[in-house]
Amino acid sequence: MDSSSSNPNFLSLQNAGMAFNGVDILRNINFNIPKGQTLVVIGESGCGKTVLLKLLISLLQASTGKVLFDGQDWCALDEKRTNEQRLRFGFLFQGAALFDSLTVFDNVAFGLRAHSNYNEKEIEKLVLMRVKEVGMKESVLEKKPAELSGGMKKRIGLARALILKPEVMLYDEPTTGLDPIMTDVINDLILQTRKNMPVTSIVVTHEMRTVHKVADRVIMFYPLARLKPNEPQLIFDGTTDELFKTPDLRVQQFIHGEAKERTLESENHEHRDEIS
């Protein structure tokens, strides 16, 4: 699976940091993502995973450091070039982010209508192909997003993201809120996408089954609020096997879903608050 030899620094963060209203969310992040790799990003809610995805596609600008794509710093690009580069990405948002006012067909066809010279017949053919690839029936095309279930929305969101054949796919918690069967369907679709096209994938998730099934490499972030000023925020970087064998308690706690110490910690805080 590892095609890292072709371009080991396809996506790269160099001392990247992000702050909102003076509060640091990400601090001094350094890592490279080789072309073709499937990287899974795990970590507690609020540790900056979604922010990381938005930095990678330049929806947000890093407060410090650099974010590079294919050797180019996003900040050095003008608006036209930034847009061109963004079209090399596909983004499956957490809530799918389908356009409410458009039908499923128009949602999936959106990218083609905006950036291709295909006529309506060709667009219809391509949309149908993508919709079938994600396991949906033709009858869904005339529906509005509000009429779809959570799993269906995610699959249509994936079809829309894939319609322009991206080189990088960003998945923001693709299985959150889905039942176990649908979770497996989405995981299979991530694998199938990688099989069908040479795509580099970055998957943000809390779901260990997704980690097991799709990851070439796993990284874990830790919330800055619980770190000392000089501690690194990236607390794990390795393969799935290494993830489960790592002695780091913070990682083990997360992958086994143990909240015991965390609960005690918060109870102690509450107790202290009551006393004060």
Partner 1 sequence: MSEPLRKEIKSALNKVSQAFAALGDFTTFSALSIATIIKKPSAGTMIPICFRVGVQSVPVVAITGMFIGMVMAIQVFSQFQSLGMATQIGQIINVSVIKELGPVLAATMLAGRIGSSMAAELATMRVTEQVDALICLGVNPLHYLVLPRVLACVLLIPILTVLANFMGVFGGSMVCTEIFKVDPYHYWQNSRGHIQIWDLSVGLIKPIFFGAAISLISCHRGMNSRAGAEGVGKAATSAFVWSFMSILVLDFFLALFFNNLHQAIWPDNSIKTFGPK
Q: From the CB of residue 239, how many other CB atoms can be counted at a distance below 10 Å?
A: 12
CB 211 within 8 A of CB 40: yes
Query: Which of 28, 63, 77, 95 forms a contact with partner 1 (CB under 8 A)?
Result: 95
Give the tokens for residue 165: 């054949």
Stretch that binds partner 1, among 41-49, 88-96, 175-183, 242-250 (CB under 8 A): 88-96
What is the closest distance, in whole angstroms, from the C-beta atom of residue 88 to partner 1 in the complex? 10
Q: Is 98 in the site for partner 1 (CB under 8 A)?
A: yes
Residues in contact with 238: Cβ distance below 8 Å, sequence separation at least 6, in sequence order:
217, 218, 246
Residue number with CB closer to partner 1 (86 or 206): 86
In DSSP terms, which residues pair with 33 in a beta bridge?
11
Out of 48, 111, 151, 174, point to the residue binding partner 1 (CB under 8 A).
111
- At closest approach, how far in Å is the CB of 61 from partner 1? 13
Which lies closer to partner 1 via its Cβ, residue 86 or residue 212?
Answer: 86
Of the residues 1, 23, 114, 181, which one makes contact with partner 1 according to CB under 8 A:
114
What HEC string does 199-264 produce?
CEEEEECCCHHHHHHHCCEEEEECCHHHCCCCCCCEEEEECHHHHHHCCCHHHHHHHHCCCHHHHH
99 belongs to the binding site for partner 1 (CB under 8 A): yes
User: Exposure of 31 by Cβ count < 10 A (0-12 exposed, 13-18 middle, 19+ buried)?
Assistant: middle
Based on the shown chain and the rule CB under 8 A, indicate whether residue 94 belongs to the binding site for partner 1. Answer: yes
123 is a site residue for partner 1 (CB under 8 A): no
d(C-alpha 196, C-alpha 87), whole Å: 19
Tokens of 241: 């096997």
Q: Which of 15, 83, 239, 268 binds partner 1 (CB under 8 A)?
A: 83
Report the nearest approach of partner 1 to the CB of residue 236 (Å).
Answer: 28
User: Is residue 119 involved in binding partner 1 (CB under 8 A)?
Assistant: no
The full length of the chain comes to: 276
Give the residues lining the site for partner 1 (CB under 8 A): 54, 57, 59, 83-84, 86-87, 89-91, 93-95, 97-101, 110-111, 114-115, 160-161, 164
